[in-house]
Amino acid sequence: MESTKIDLSTKTEAEDGKVYFSYEDIHSAVESMVPSLAEFKPTVIIAIGGGGFIPARILRTQLKVPILAISLELYDDETNTTREQVKCLQWFNTSAGPGALVDGGNVLIVDEVDDTRTTLQYCVEELLRKCKPAKVGVVVVHNKLKEKRGTLPENVEYFAGQDVPDKWNCYPWDAAAYGRDIQGHEAISRKCSS
């Protein structure tokens, strides 16, 4: 399938200093990784909720593998601050269904952004502690160009749809969190693209 990739490197900040990404931006960035991810031959996707859910669903259509959902929190929504440690709210069951594909399988962990890498490190460490996958890959829509607090093992493959500056990213699924409806969010995203 041929895609028209949007050059996200031209995104500029909105008046509030944040960068707004549209659903089209996200879809294009995710789709750009599909050929490399197909070569990885994943057997299952682990979506880190909430930001990894939509990118994982886009990948599921292209790669035709099941999705497992986990919920990890690094940011405290009540205080708008970063926690000292990642909080695990939900993990998956490996005894049946798609969870049984993890041991011995090629696992892709999907999130929307690699900011500090703390959440990704936690997820990979938990996965390797609890399971025995053959291969692990980490997929992010956006990799922020900055020094990372967390690290990933050398044998973990890393895929990023787009490298972006270290700015506050606003994603369409979080429009309400920024006091906007989706139409308002998409309008600001278009302004960030011009």
**Catalytic residue selected from 76, 77, 115, 166:** 115
Phi, psi dihedral angles at 42 (to 5 degrees): -65, 150
**Burial 107-126, CB ≥16 within 10 A → b, else e:** bbbbbbbbbbbbbbbbbbee
Cβ–Cβ under 8 Å, residues 102 and 131: yes
Q: Which amino acid is at 177?
A: A
Alpha carbon 46 to its chain centroid, in Å, reads 10
Is 115 a residue of the active site? yes
Q: Which residues are catalytic?
A: 115
